[in-house]
Chain A
Amino acid sequence: MSTFKYVLAKEFQQIRRNPTIVRMMLAVPIIQLIVLPFAADYEIKQMNLAVVDMDHSTYSRELIREMTASGYFQLANYAASFPEAKEAVERNEADLILEIPAHFERDLVREDGATLAVHANAINQVKGGLSQMYAGQIIRRFNNHIRAEWLQWPRFSPVALLSIEPQLWFNPHIDYHLFMVPGILAVLITMVGSFLASMNIVQEKEAGTIEQINVTPIKKYQFLLGKMIPFWVLGMITLTIGLIVAYLIYGIVSVGPLWVVYAFSAFYLVAVLGIGLLISTFADNQQQATFVSFFFVMVFILMSGLYTPVESMPGWAKVIAYANPVTYMIQVVRGVMIKGSGFMDILPYVGIIGAFGIFFNGLAVWRYRKTV
């Protein structure tokens, strides 16, 4: 075991000397946590509205005013005809067209109902969907208003007084950062554990030093542990930096006990290091490792529920998502930090990650024996 001390000392010395790793350790969590949640913000404000008002009535003007006063829309184009408004959309100057037909007010008053058309630019489907949803809400509210105005108050109100008040649990203000930040934290420690570690092993192959190691009495498990332990430590440091950034910038404080996040990360990192090890057995140089890693990164991030809920994925994608350890990590970190899950709540995940760990590490060690 005392031989191992020398192996470990050498690994830590090498990492300390490597300015790229040190810089990545500090810069990546900070930049990703600052930039990504803002860039990937789903809450959309200030959408450009094009209005085709064929009615020019009090009510039509009131509706337009309500739309722009909501804060979600700004009037970007006041078109004389629908084709003209559509052109504005094509020029990317408008996201949503509100078409108010002629006789809107008359129909509303006389026939107790009028039709409106809302056309959304759905090239960005999230934006398109949201803009329609917001517009729908505003129009409904407008509708309720005018109906209430007209009512001759009878003894019992014919207007539905029962309304649904949505209660959003755990994230009452639908703060997108609260949702994104824990997810990004999970992805970050995955990167450190798998890709940085694989690069490090491949570097030894590239430099030829691995040959030298192989003729020395160092046992394979000692060599591999020597590679894994420093990156395990780096992963935990990244997590800590990430949590500090989350608190300082977003004021996010974990609702659940932080030790659960740490304990689970410690466990999770072992599984992820297995992935790194596995990649390193497939690659002979850092370029190859980068390409293999790139493939995994795409799958890991897109299929992890970081952006889109796993539950709403199609069947085949669900299969991939559930075969992706990052999915579970994100669920646990979000569960603890946002919902306040405790250790007992995440226990099933410990089992799943344990299975991943055995699988990846086992496969990597097996491949490692074969290749070297």
Chain B
Amino acid sequence: MEKSVIQVRELTKKFGSFTAVDHIGFDVYKGEIFGFLGANGAGKTTAMRMICGLLTPTSGEVKVLGLNIATQTDTIKRQIGYMSQKFSLYDGLTVRENVRFYGGIYGMRGKQLQQKIDELADKLGLEDKIDQQVKSLPLGWKQKLAFLVAIQHDPKVVFLDEPTGGVDPITRRQFWELIYEAAERGITVFVTTHYMDEAEYCDRVCIMVDGHVAALDRPEHLRHKMKKETMHEVFYQLARAAQRRD
């Protein structure tokens, strides 16, 4: 099989007596779009935050690009991208200023930055809005922009935490086109989502229920195995077994 870029082993997070993530383990392979699904409170955001180094695990191990996230954080950080659930660009800054800032902190300089700005504006059709504050843009554009900014330094892996929340179906579609484009460039995409139609777009999906991995396979295999028509039904059957509610 292909090269594994993320290895998760026995990963656990406890908040007091509550075990949010309970000994999960899986591999994510290079260039794939890995969907991370789960109901609210299933522990997917917690797991993801541990995988990209934002949260210290209670126990277990995470390796990203062969490096241990706990000890080699700084090296890993240069090579990953992240787009949080909350909007991750600065509202009060212009598109250009945001791109300059995020590019600059990843070590991009003068010409390279200018090139990125032009490229980005072109891709989103934002040429005339490049010097407008981000808060004046519609949400869909903001999300797409945030994604492009998250991958502008050509990371090996990008983590997307519910990137299409609150966005209309057309924009979601466009957003996924951007994701495909990134995957084609060899960027591994780790994405959490609520939308089951989006699960269909993933190469493999991992469904979390009550802090455990309930299923992990290609969407079509899962449907076949569970004799369901859609991912929605697959998810529904698995999630129904959940004991805890948020």
Question: Hey, which bits of chain A sit against chain B, CB under 8 A?
Answer: 2-3, 5-7, 9-10, 13-14, 17-18, 207-209, 211-212, 214-218
- Known contacts A10-B97, A17-B133, A211 near B105 by CB under 8 Å: no
CA A339 to CA B74, docked complex, whole Å: 53
B216 → chain A, closest Cβ, in Å?
24
- Please tell me if B72 contacts chain A, counting CB pairs below 8 Å: no
Residues of chain A lying within 8 A (CB to CB) of residue B91: 207
- Known contacts A10-B93, A215-B52, A215-B80, A3 near B104 by CB under 8 Å: yes
Known: A6-B105, A18-B92. 19 other contacts (CB 8 A): A2-B109, A6-B100, A6-B103, A7-B101, A9-B101, A9-B104, A14-B90, A17-B133, A207-B90, A208-B85, A209-B90, A211-B82, A212-B82, A212-B83, A215-B52, A215-B82, A215-B159, A217-B106, A218-B105
- Please tell me if B84 contacts chain A, counting CB pairs below 8 Å: yes
CA A209 to CA B87, docked complex, whole Å: 7
- Please tell me if B224 contacts chain A, counting CB pairs below 8 Å: no
- Residue of A13, A208, A212, A217 touching B93 (CB-CB under 8 A): A13
The chain B residue with its CB closest to the CB of A211 is B84
CA A216 to CA B89, docked complex, whole Å: 13
Contact with A along B45-87 (1 / 0, CB 8 A): 0000000111000000000000000000010011011111111
* B84:A217 contact, CB within 8 angstroms: no
* A6:B77 contact, CB within 8 angstroms: no
- Please tell me if B102 contacts chain A, counting CB pairs below 8 Å: yes
- Please tell me if B125 contacts chain A, counting CB pairs below 8 Å: no
* A10:B92 contact, CB within 8 angstroms: no
Which residue among A6, A7, A207, A218 has the maximum number of chain B CB atoms within 10 Å of its CB?
Answer: A6
CA A13 to CA B104, docked complex, whole Å: 15
Q: Which 8 A-B pairs have the closest CB atoms?
A: A208-B86, A6-B104, A215-B82, A212-B88, A10-B101, A211-B84, A17-B92, A217-B77
A23 → chain B, closest Cβ, in Å?
15
Residues of chain A lying within 8 A (CB to CB) of residue B97: 10, 13
Main secondary structure of the interface of A (DSSP, over half): helix
A356 → chain B, closest Cβ, in Å?
31
CA A14 to CA B134, docked complex, whole Å: 12
* A6:B101 contact, CB within 8 angstroms: yes
* B100:A14 contact, CB within 8 angstroms: no
Residues of chain B lying within 8 A (CB to CB) of residue A217: 74, 77-78, 105-107
The chain B residue with its CB closest to the CB of A208 is B86
- Residue of A7, A14, A17, A208 touching B105 (CB-CB under 8 A): A7
Query: What are 16 contact pairs spanning A and B, CB under 8 A?
Result: A3-B104, A7-B104, A10-B93, A13-B93, A207-B86, A207-B87, A208-B87, A209-B89, A209-B90, A215-B54, A215-B77, A215-B80, A217-B74, A217-B106, A217-B107, A218-B105
Residues of chain A lying within 8 A (CB to CB) of residue B78: 217
The chain A residue with its CB closest to the CB of B83 is A212
CA A236 to CA B41, docked complex, whole Å: 48
- Known contacts A6-B100, A6-B101, A215 near B53 by CB under 8 Å: yes
Residues of chain A lying within 8 A (CB to CB) of residue B133: 17
* A3:B87 contact, CB within 8 angstroms: no
B83 → chain A, closest Cβ, in Å?
8
Residues of chain B lying within 8 A (CB to CB) of residue A2: 109
* A216:B87 contact, CB within 8 angstroms: no
* B77:A209 contact, CB within 8 angstroms: no
A9 → chain B, closest Cβ, in Å?
7
CA A13 to CA B80, docked complex, whole Å: 26
Residues of chain B lying within 8 A (CB to CB) of residue A14: 90, 92-93
B53 → chain A, closest Cβ, in Å?
7
CA A218 to CA B52, docked complex, whole Å: 15
Residues of chain B lying within 8 A (CB to CB) of residue A211: 54, 82, 84, 86, 88
